[in-house]
Structure 1
Amino acid sequence: MRTPHALLAATVTTTALVAAVVTPTPAAGADAVPAPGTFYVQSAATGLNAAAGAGAVEQHRPRGNEDHQQWNLRASGSSHLLENTDTPGTCLGRAGDQARTVPCASADAAWDIAPAGADRYTLAAPGTDRRLAVAPRPSGANHPAQLAVSAGSSDLAHWYLTPVSPVTRPMPPQDSRTLDQVTFLTSHNAYANGVDGGFAPPFVNFFPNQTRGIERQLADGVRGFMLDIHQAPDGAILCHNSCTLVSRPVALWVDLQRMVDFLKARPDQVVTVFLEDYVDPGVLRAELARVNGLSDVLHRPDRTGVREKGWPTLADMTATGQRLLIFSDHSRSADQSAGLTRDSFGVMYQREWTVENHWSMGSGVGASDWSCHSRWYDAGTNIPLTRTEPGFRPLFVMNHFRDAPVADTAGTDNSKLADRARRFCQPAARKKPNFLAVDRYDLGNPAEAVDALNTYTYP
């Protein structure tokens, strides 16, 4: 069993992860073009990457070193070239009003790269105002994949040059680490464990996401808990999809009480709860009111200046005793229509405080999709993983599980968690994951990935 301290301080145990921490590349600065190196050309508007394919250059979901998404930046006279790492001699260029791959010797391969603030850049055809851009989004649709070359300097023409091998720094001492510098082991569908009570109709109970109860999860070092809540006549209960025929359902307040009691016994620990939330705000408020001592440990980022000053240190949270965060995926606008917002009683709206990658890597068996892209990028929403605000960096929830919790697959996936975090999700979000959410955390040693991420910071 790993102690909670081990989750925050253990040394890296794999060569690849050590290399990720200690092999720096020059960082992209906001006031100059980055030094030559290998980069992702990443849209500031969508968080998606420029990818080469059959002559086209399109924005695709970040896929690490797969899918022709890495580009070698080098100077060429007063301009710059971006040569695709998979096809030497072929560069990101343009043909008319479209981005294309062209021979690096072509005049259409050169770009004037200029800072656009906040670590962003524009890429313009030399001597013109025609810039590489994401095409405008048609009504009710995502932005088109094909990248454009057009006049203008809106966010659609702003790009991050994200280093493939970023500069990292050692983790600060324990007493000065901020919440957004730390990574926590997180259990997906933590309640669906078959130990604490029923969570689904009988057949589904044969496929638990976890096999240990909440108290054992806390003892094992799990510090993030994903819980689905549904409305019942006497409050909010924990169940998956349909709550019909669930035997011995567990109420939300029962598991929250377990967490509050744990925090009161362990004053140096921090716990975070993520609610997939299908209840009315009044029902949720009444449910939380049943938890003894909740107000003593509940952390309110909306009342402590987090948006203006950044996330607190763990030492500050320990000093105040406020070490439990609760987030809901519910919509603020829907609650405003109902006349009661969840944050009025301490439940934060997740889209306002976090970013999160898409929740599925595919079915429980067969092919995997390791691309890392925002859960909240679709025809109606555009919250890229790269979202930041002046003085504030959202926490990053990294989902690493499939549609169905097949034990053998979960164990294999969990053994690859550190590699996906480093090669796919960290550059996709331009930040380190703060919550690594997995099925069957007892398989494949995902705590080792948490330990590795907790040896460095990603500036």
Structure 2
Amino acid sequence: MRTPHALLATAVTAAALAAAAVTPAPAAGADAVPPPGTYYVQSVVTGLNAADASGTVEQHRPRGNEGRQQWILRPDGAGHLLENTDSPGSCLGRAGDRARTVSCTAAEARWQITPLGADRYALADPGADRRLTVAPKPAGATHPAPLSVGSGAGDLAAWYLTPADAPGGPMPPRGHRTLDQVTFLTAHNAYANGVDGGFAPPFVDLFPNQSRGIQQQLADGVRGFMLDVHQTPDGAILCHNSCTLVRRPVALWVDLQRIVDFLRARPDEFVTVFLEDYVDPGVLRAELDRVQGLSEVLFRPDRTGVRENGWPTTDELAADGHRLLIFTDHSREADRSAGLTRDTFGVMYQREWTVENHWSMGPGVGSSDWSCYSRWYDANTTIPLTRTEPGFRPLFVMNHFRDAAVASTAATDNAKLADRARRFCQPAARKKPTYLAVDRYDLGNPAAAVDALNTYTYP
């Protein structure tokens, strides 16, 4: 779907990533225990992984092949063992009502694995009615890290056995790909580019997240745009934190008009806008009303049966002309109290349609944190990256940037995007990223990762 540009990946990079993504053993059927192999033991409730923590087994943020989170599944008599890849001979097991790592030769290392449907499993003590379980969530807190072995039932005792290298399938022909099968290059803080206008007070815009204006971003193949919008007496304005003293501020409708004009000229393209949204719903509606032709291209998944039937194909979107999807990170509950919900005028609540990993990999310089966990998992919210529903798979927004957009750091990080997407974030979400969001997309060739991810599907 993206136009050719200078950032296209080399064939070697794309082929290498695609080959790595599709080589594992086929997935097991819903009524069978997965075949022997290397897996993550992943909570259905939290999306976090069982990890060996000095003998205690705890749920930790997914960290790919780091953090002692990978387990080798193999049959053992009538049961199964899960041997830690970092400690040969040490298996996920039990000590009383606690989950522990024990010798793989011990009876406490054997599990009876029972399919629960929907690719979920129970791990039970073969000699008792006890299961591996996540502890209940205390009021005002997240679920405790240590895992228990007890009479847990329901989702707290339900687990995904996620392959470390998930099997992939061939990508459908262009036009026949559903929206959740496609990956889009996405510009974090796309408006903060120093070209279209100012974005940060007081007088100097430091550390721009991008170096090219919105129109050039579209020409370069960017198809996702993250925009911070704040309320001022002049309406909805794009800026960081505060719009006070921003030089040459840009209104939201101006950038949306650029995107709509592009889509009207390119009927085969699809664009998504993510609003970090600090305006009243009435102000946002008035801003959208200023965009000529918006209603002609606006995609409304809430009115087209997406939740019941899944995402449409790109051909179906092009045929309908609905090729602009707008999300807000605002709260539906807050809007209800204000008397106007944003989806009544076509802005979707992002938490209802997507999952998203934590937004930062760390400070602008120095080492980075590659763990991939939900942005919406805290004391008030539990939306795991693994969330899915019958017939509906949320789109996956993968953030890959730092607290500050230092050019040299962004270049290094972007060059590693493909590796993090495949080995860390894809298994963490049990889905392929739909949006790869980066700073300075012009550095480090992040389009190579986009192109490679668009060569296969995640099951």
Which category describes the TM-score, using the shorter chain as reference length? over 0.9
Deviation at 1:53, TM superposition (A): 2.0
Give 1:381's aligned residue.
Answer: 381
- Percent of aligned positions that are identical: 79
* Cα separation, 1, equivalents of 2:397 and 2:12: 21
Paired position in structure 1 for 2:123: 123
Q: Is the 8 A contact 1:10 1:451 kept in 2?
A: no
Q: How far 1:7 moved relative to its partner?
A: 8.9
CA contact (8 A) 2:18 2:456 kept: no
1:32-111 matches, cutoff 5 A: 32-111=32-111
Instruction: Tell me the residue number matched to 2:269.
Output: 269
Are 2:317 and 1:317 equivalent residues in the alignment?
A: yes
Shift of 1:150: 1.1
Q: What's the CA shift for 1:9?
A: 10
Q: Distance in 2 between matches of 1:7 and 1:45?
A: 39
1:236 is the counterpart of 2:236: yes
1:46-445 alignment, distance < 5 Å: 46-202=46-202, 205-445=205-445
Shift of 1:12: 5.6
Cα–Cα, structure 1 residues 415 and 51, in superposed 2: closer, same or farther, change >3 Å? same
User: How far apart in 1 are the matches of 2:11 and 2:178?
Assistant: 19
Summarize deviations over 1:412-445 as a string: whole Å, max 9, x none. 0000000000000000000000000000000000
TM-score for the superposition, normalised by structure 1: 0.97
- Structure 2 distance, partners of 1:321, 1:356, is 27
* Residue 367 of structure 1: how far off its partner (Å): 1.8
CA–CA distance in structure 2, aligned partners of residues 319 and 371 of structure 1: 39
Count of aligned pairs between the two proteins: 458
Task: Give a deviation string over 1:357-413, Cα, whole Å, max 9, x none.
Answer: 000000001121000000000000000000000000000000000000000000000
Long gaps (5+) in structure 1: none
Asked if structure 2 preserves the Cα contact closer than 8 Å seen for 1:9 and 1:455, the reply is no
- How many angstroms does 1:25 deviate by? 1.7
Matched position secondary structure for 1:441: coil
Tell me by how many angstroms 1:8 deviates.
10
In structure 2, how many angstroms separate the alpha carbons of the residues matched to 1:290 and 1:13? Answer: 43
1:24 — aligned with what? 24
Q: Distance in 2 between matches of 1:223 and 1:135?
A: 41
Q: Using the alignment, how far apart are the partners of 2:258 and 2:13 within structure 1?
A: 32
Give the secondary-structure state (helix, strand or coil) at the position aligned to 2:264.
helix
- Give the Cα–Cα distance (whole angstroms) in 2 for the partners of residues 204 and 97 of structure 1: 58
SS at match of 1:335: helix
Q: CA deviation at 1:175?
A: 2.1
Whether the 8 Å CA contact 2:72–2:84 is kept in 1: the answer is yes
Structure 1 position 116, deviation (Å): 1.0
Distance in 1 separating the partners of 2:14 and 2:224: 24
- On the 8 A contact 2:14/2:448 being kept in 1, the answer is no
Deviation at 1:315, TM superposition (A): 0.2
- Cα distance in 2 for partners of 1:178, 1:11 equals 24
Structure 2 unmatched runs, 5+: none
Q: TM-score, normalised by structure 2?
A: 0.97
Name the amino acid aligned to 1:29: G
CA distance in 1, matches of 2:234, 2:152: 56
Residue type matched to 2:44 in 1?
A: A
Paired residue secondary structure (1:175): coil
C-alpha displacement of 1:234:
2.2
Partner SS for 1:206:
coil
Counterpart amino acid of residue 247 in structure 2: S
Aligned-pair Cα RMSD in Å: 1.5
CA contact (8 A) 2:398 2:435 kept: yes
Please tell me the residue identity of whatever aligns with 1:141: A
How far did 1:167 drift?
Answer: 1.1
Match of 1:454 in 2: 454
**Cα pair distance change 1:251/1:440, threshold 3 Å:** same
Quick one: which amino acid aligns to residue 63 of structure 1?
Answer: R
